């Protein structure tokens, strides 16, 4: 709050506080702050990216996709936005689109193993999904998803999808992950 009080016209103040609210799982307050940051700077890619993370937690996948795509349009070199876009498609069980997004993240940050791990998992689920489709077996016979699908994968602690926040420093290099 002190940062916002001291710099009320700086979008990074609201993005920083929004990040704190996000960590505390106060998603409505985080959304308010990311919206304020965007209103102060409509070209603030990292605010769109982080707001997308909030929408994921609220289950609003289509809105999250829109925010990640806006972040990518504004900062196409920011690999983590492609990664989180892929994670969103993964949760929606749109594995081909997830793989495309992970491909782009890997092109921008080829040594970042987490991107590769989720790409591999998406390929595996896509293969499973295609096999189930080829068998013409209704997915309801498989627990609602092809062998449990993404929800079965993401409900295990080992495979929880990580929605990575944008770096705190808006001038930080964006071709490598911020952590």
Residue-wise pLDDT tens for the chain (179 aa)?
Answer: 788 999 899 999 999 999 999 999 999 999 999 999 999 999 999 999 999 999 999 999 999 999 999 999 999 999 999 999 999 999 999 999 999 999 999 999 998 888 888 888 888 888 777 766 655 444 433 233 222 334 333 333 333 445 666 655 444 333 332 22
Cα 25 to chain center, whole Å? Answer: 16
Tokens of 133: 């489709």
pLDDT at res. 120: 85
pLDDT at res. 155: 39
Residue 125 near residue 150 (C-beta atoms within 8 A): yes
Write out pLDDT tens, residues 3-14: 899 989 999 999
pTM: 0.73
Tokens of 49: 């990216």
Handedness of CA 142, 147, 150, 151 (dihedral sign): positive
- 126 contact partners, CB below 8 Å, separation of at least 6: 95, 96, 99
pLDDT at res. 164: 64
Q: Is 93 helix (H, G, I), strand (E, B) or coil?
A: coil
pLDDT at res. 113: 84
* DSSP H helices in the chain: 2-6, 11-23, 27-40, 45-57, 61-74, 79-91, 95-108, 113-134, 149-154
């Amino acid at each position: 709050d002190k940062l916002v009080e001291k710099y009320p016209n700086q979008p990074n103040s609201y993005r920083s506080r929004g990040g704190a609210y996000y960590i505390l799982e106060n998603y409505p307050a985080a959304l308010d702050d990311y919206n304020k940051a965007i209103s102060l700077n409509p070209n603030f890619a990292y605010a769109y990216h982080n707001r997308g993370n909030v929408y994921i937690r609220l289950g609003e996948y289509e809105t999250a996709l829109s925010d990640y795509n806006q972040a990518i349009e504004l900062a196409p070199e920011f690999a983590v936005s492609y990664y989180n876009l892929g994670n969103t498609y993964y949760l929606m069980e749109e594995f081909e689109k997830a793989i495309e997004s992970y491909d782009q993240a890997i092109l921008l940050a080829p040594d970042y193993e987490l991107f590769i791990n989720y790409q591999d998992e998406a390929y595996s689920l896509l293969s499973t999904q295609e096999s189930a489709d080829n068998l013409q077996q209704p997915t309801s016979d498989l627990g609602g998803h092809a062998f449990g699908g993404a929800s079965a994968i993401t409900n295990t602690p080992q495979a929880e999808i990580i929605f990575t926040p944008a770096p705190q420093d808006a001038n930080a290099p964006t071709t490598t992950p911020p952590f």
